[in-house]
C-alpha cells in the first residue's frame, strides 16, 4: 500500500499526528487494518516509495543457471563458473611461484565466480588469469554473460524471457545496489 504524507501536527501533549492520503483503491484494506489495530501499539516505517522491478538481471541469470544445471545434472556453481570463464572478464597476474597458490586461494574467497586459471608455470613465475565474479560486471559484461546463459537455455529448450525484457533488466543492472 502506498500513500502521501498530507500533514504533520502535534497534540496538546506534543505527540505527533501524521496524516496520510491513501489511494481510494486501498481504502477498504486500510479500514480493516485500522479496525484490527486501533487500540494496540504498532510498528511502522515511512520511506520513499520505489517501484519494484520484477526480476533483476542477476536474479534472472541465477534462475536460468539453476534450470540449466538441473537439465545437465550439474551443480549450479559449476555451471556459473563455466560462464565466468566463457565471458572472460579477467586480470592477467604474473606472480612468483611460491606465492601463486596463496594468491589463488585469496582470490577465490571473493565469491563463487572469482576463479583463477594458471595459464603458464615457469621456473620462477606463474602466469594466472584471475576471473572476476559477475557482481562487479558492468552493463556490457553482464549483457554478454546473460546472452551466453540465455543462448544455452534456448538450446536446452528452457523457456526464456523476450529479448526486450532481457534488455530492460540489463539496462537496470548498473543502478542496482551491489551486495
Give 41-84 as a 3 state SS string.
Answer: CCCCCCCCCCCCCCCCHHHHHHHHHHHHHHHHCCCHHHHHHHHH
Indicate if the pLDDT at residue 54 is higher than 50.
Answer: no
Indicate if the pLDDT at residue 52 is higher than 50.
Answer: no
CB 68 within 8 A of CB 118: no
Mean pLDDT taken over the chain: 86
Q: How many of the other CB atoms lie within 10 Å of CB of 58?
A: 19
Residue range 127-170, pLDDT digits in tens: 999 999 988 888 888 889 999 999 999 999 998 877 777 777 77
Q: Determine the pLDDT at residue 173.
A: 58
Q: Determine the pLDDT at residue 176.
A: 56
Indicate if the pLDDT at residue 59 is higher than 90.
Answer: no
31: cell is 479500514
Please tell me the pTM assigned to this model: 0.61
pLDDT > 90 fraction of the chain, expressed in percent and rounded: 49
Q: Determine the pLDDT at residue 111.
A: 92
CB 142 within 8 A of CB 173: yes
Distance CA 8, CA 147 (A): 50
Residue 110: band (very low, low, confident or very high) from pLDDT cuts 50, 70, 90: very high
The terminus-to-terminus CA distance of the chain in angstroms comes to 27
92: cell is 592477467
pLDDT > 70 fraction of the chain, expressed in percent and rounded: 91
The single residue listed with the C-alpha cell 517501484 is 51
Q: Compute the average pLDDT of residues 1-6.
A: 84
CA dihedral for 6, 12, 16, 22, sign (positive or negative) = negative
Q: Compute the average pLDDT of residues 87-109.
A: 95
User: DSSP letters along 104-166, please?
Assistant: HHHHHTT-TT-EEEEEEE-SSEEEEEEEPPGGG--HHHHHHHHHHHHHHHHHTT-----HHHH
The single residue listed with the C-alpha cell 549483457 is 143
Q: Determine the pLDDT at residue 53.
A: 39
Q: How many of the other CB atoms lie within 10 Å of CB of 38?
A: 8
Indicate if the pLDDT at residue 172 is higher than 80.
Answer: no
Amino acid at each position: 500500500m502506498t500513500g502521501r504524507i498530507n500533514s504533520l501536527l502535534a497534540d496538546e501533549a506534543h505527540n505527533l499526528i501524521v496524516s496520510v492520503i491513501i489511494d481510494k483503491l486501498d481504502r477498504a484494506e486500510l479500514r480493516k487494518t485500522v479496525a484490527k489495530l486501533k487500540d494496540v501499539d504498532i510498528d511502522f516505517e515511512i520511506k520513499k516509495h520505489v517501484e519494484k522491478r520484477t526480476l533483476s538481471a542477476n536474479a534472472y541469470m541465477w534462475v536460468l543457471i539453476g534450470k540449466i544445471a538441473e537439465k545437465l545434472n550439474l551443480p549450479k556453481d559449476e555451471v556459473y563458473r563455466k560462464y565466468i570463464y566463457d565471458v572472460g572478464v579477467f586480470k592477467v597476474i604474473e606472480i612468483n611461484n611460491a606465492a601463486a597458490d596463496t594468491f589463488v586461494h585469496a582470490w577465490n574467497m571473493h565469491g563463487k565466480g572469482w576463479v583463477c586459471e594458471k595459464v603458464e608455470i615457469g621456473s620462477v613465475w606463474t602466469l594466472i588469469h584471475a576471473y572476476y565474479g559477475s557482481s562487479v560486471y558492468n552493463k556490457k559484461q553482464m549483457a554478454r554473460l546473460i546472452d551466453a546463459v540465455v543462448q544455452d537455455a534456448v538450446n536446452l529448450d528452457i523457456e526464456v524471457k523476450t529479448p526486450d525484457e532481457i534488455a530492460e533488466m540489463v539496462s537496470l543492472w548498473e543502478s542496482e545496489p551491489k551486495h
